[in-house]
Amino acid sequence: MKTQEFTLGDVPLGQIDMDDDTPTEADDLADLVAELRRVQAEGEAKGEAWGGVRSPVTVEPADGAGRYRLIFGRRRVLAARLAGLETIPALVEHGGAVVPSKETPDA
């Protein structure tokens, strides 16, 4: 059985690579950016620090140079870039470690 290990942290948006073949509707992105800006303005009006994107995207390391491949969250990444954010919260998937299941006899 494989298990996945994840870490949660902020990843620079400039280091996330996406599959450009996935279409995204411009109106949908405009709505997301408007929502990001509305939440930011409401927080600032209350004197609260704005946390930006609230649901993390999921990425995996793409190479040894600190780049990531996006797994889930394309619209959030695009909207965050359009909103001028520098980082985005992300679950970083670190691959699968093989763990013997109870049904697997010891070798």
pTM of the model as a whole: 0.64
Dump pLDDT digits (tens) for 51-75.
567 789 999 998 878 899 999 988 8
Phi and psi at residue 92, to the nearest 5° = -100, 115
- Structure token pair of residue 100: 């013997």
- Structure token pair of residue 11: 């990843």
| Per-residue model confidence (pLDDT) at position 2 | 59
Q: How far apart are CA 72 and CA 8, in angstroms?
A: 14
Sign of CA dihedral 24, 25, 28, 30: positive
| Per-residue model confidence (pLDDT) at position 22 | 59
| Per-residue model confidence (pLDDT) at position 90 | 93
pLDDT of residue 88 exceeding 80, the answer is yes
Q: How far apart are CA 1 and CA 5, in angstroms?
A: 13
